[in-house]
């Protein structure tokens, strides 16, 4: 997959912008706070229907009533046109080839991989950041994952609302939500484990390519549900219900749901040691780079399309060896890449592609 053309209207700092990117490398440079990341956000939004900054309305240029992005993506089977508009009152319209179909029809399902300096927090940060990586990054690979996650979150919201008001002597009111909660939670948990089972071998190989032989990498999924061993939905539902019953009083006391995929975690180990506590900065950077490389390989393997790669100001986060890995193993190879950086243009002058300069109001090829 590749982006053929993109047009922005009243998007962040851009009044109007039209760009026809190169099919391989697009290096976007300029001083800080001039709009380099804003352009990547527009590409991401066109493909996925959401901002990676988590607030769609902030994409609207100050003083305007709406922001619009129109894009044309090339796929193996032809082209896909996307028109996306955000309105100041909160509305959002998404059209794919002229028809509405929601986010599931957007070309981002074939792969848009974003790598930012903040991604180091996937390893070092809170469990919620690792869950977000699974749900928002890997989850796009599995077509039914988003539906399962949406259903689970909806029931979780209702269940938590009830827990804030229910009394211990009226717990029977919870049963109406528990059945759906355990079923949707079991489905989501099973899909996560299957997704990670396919993903983790790719992480191991990518980390080996980056760091070389000598370190054994492991990953453990820490479920708040004590699983009995059989990985089937009906058995997980039983395990889920048993755990929920055992922690019923705790939930009533805390007035929130304390067990389920929304409280799970994913932990990485190098030579048996938790990377969060014992990993060096170099090991953490190598592991995050391996996660992104594995994500790209998995998109390609599962969809048959090469994902689009967005690298937002990550060059300064990587030492020379890891920059070389990035240049030789990730950028190129038939994969369209967008790189933003205020420096390092000399590393890309010999690459096949285009170089753009952002000046705060526009972007021009140089």
Q: Which run of H or of E encompasses 356?
A: strand 353-358
Could you name the CATH architecture of 1-111+308-366? 3-Layer(aba) Sandwich (3.40)
The pTM assigned to this predicted structure is 0.90
Domains 1-111+308-366 and 118-304 share a fold: no
State pLDDT tens for residues 277-296. 999 988 998 999 999 999 99
Alpha helices in the chain (DSSP H): 36-48, 121-124, 127-132, 145-163, 175-211, 233-246, 248-254, 275-278, 281-303, 320-325
Q: Does pLDDT of 64 surpass 70?
A: yes
- Alpha-carbon gap, residue 38 to 13, rounded angstroms: 8
345 vs 105, higher pLDDT: 105
Q: Does pLDDT of 172 surpass 70?
A: no
69 vs 343, higher pLDDT: 69
State pLDDT tens for residues 74-104. 999 899 999 999 998 878 899 999 887 777 7
Mean pLDDT of 105-130: 91
pLDDT for res 140: 85
Split at pLDDT 50, 70, 90, the class of 39 is very high
State pLDDT tens for residues 214-273. 788 999 999 999 998 777 899 999 999 999 999 988 998 899 999 999 999 999 999 999
The structural domains of the chain, with segments of one domain joined by +, span 1-111+308-366, 118-304
Split at pLDDT 50, 70, 90, the class of 192 is very high
Residue 5 tokens, joined: 């053309």
State pLDDT tens for residues 294-342. 999 999 999 999 999 999 988 877 888 888 888 888 887 789 999 998 8
Fold exhibited by the domain 118-304: Glutathione S-transferase Yfyf (Class Pi); Chain A, domain 2 (1.20.1050)
pLDDT for res 167: 67
State pLDDT tens for residues 118-171. 899 999 999 999 999 999 899 888 888 989 999 999 999 999 999 988 765 556
Cβ proximity of 319 and 282 under 8 Å: yes
356 vs 100, higher pLDDT: 356
């Amino acid at each position: 997959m590749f982006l053929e053309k993109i047009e922005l209207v009243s998007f962040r700092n851009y009044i109007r912008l039209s760009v026809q990117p190169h099919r391989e490398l697009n290096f976007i440079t300029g001083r800080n706070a001039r709009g380099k990341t804003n352009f990547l956000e527009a590409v991401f939004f066109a493909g996925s229907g959401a901002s990676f900054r988590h607030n769609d309305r902030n994409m609207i240029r100050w003083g305007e009533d709406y922001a619009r992005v129109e894009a044309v993506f090339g796929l193996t089977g032809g082209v896909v046109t996307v028109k996306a508009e955000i309105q100041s009152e909160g509305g959002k319209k998404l059209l794919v080839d002229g028809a509405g179909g929601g986010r599931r029809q957007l070309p981002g399902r074939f792969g848009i991989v974003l790598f930012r300096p903040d991604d180091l927090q996937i390893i070092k940060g809170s469990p919620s950041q690792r869950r977000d990586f699974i749900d928002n990054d890997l989850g796009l690979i599995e077509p039914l994952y988003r539906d399962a996650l949406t259903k689970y979150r909806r029931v979780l919201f209702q269940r938590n609302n009830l827990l804030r008001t229910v009394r211990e002597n009226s717990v029977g009111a919870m049963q109406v939500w528990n059945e759906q909660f355990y079923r949707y939670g079991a489905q989501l948990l099973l899909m996560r484990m299957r997704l990670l089972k396919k993903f983790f071998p790719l992480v191991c190989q990518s980390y080996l390519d980056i760091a070389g032989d000598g370190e054994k990498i492991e990953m453990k999924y820490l479920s708040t549900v004590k699983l009995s061993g059989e990985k089937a939905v009906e058995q997980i539902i039983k395990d889920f219900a048993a755990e929920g019953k055992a922690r019923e009083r705790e939930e009533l006391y805390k007035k929130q749901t304390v067990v389920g995929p929304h409280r799970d975690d994913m932990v990485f180990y190098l030579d048996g040691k938790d990377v969060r506590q014992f990993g060096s900065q170099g090991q953490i950077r190598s592991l995050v780079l391996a996660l992104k490389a594995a994500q790209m390989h998995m998109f390609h393997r599962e969809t048959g399309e090469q994902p689009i790669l967005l690298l937002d100001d990550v060059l300064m986060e990587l030492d020379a060896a890891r920059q070389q890995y990035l240049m030789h193993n990730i950028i190129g190879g038939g994969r369209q890449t967008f790189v933003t950086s205020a420096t390092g243009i000399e590393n890309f002058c010999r690459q096949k592609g285009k170089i753009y300069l952002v000046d705060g109001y526009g972007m021009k090829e140089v």
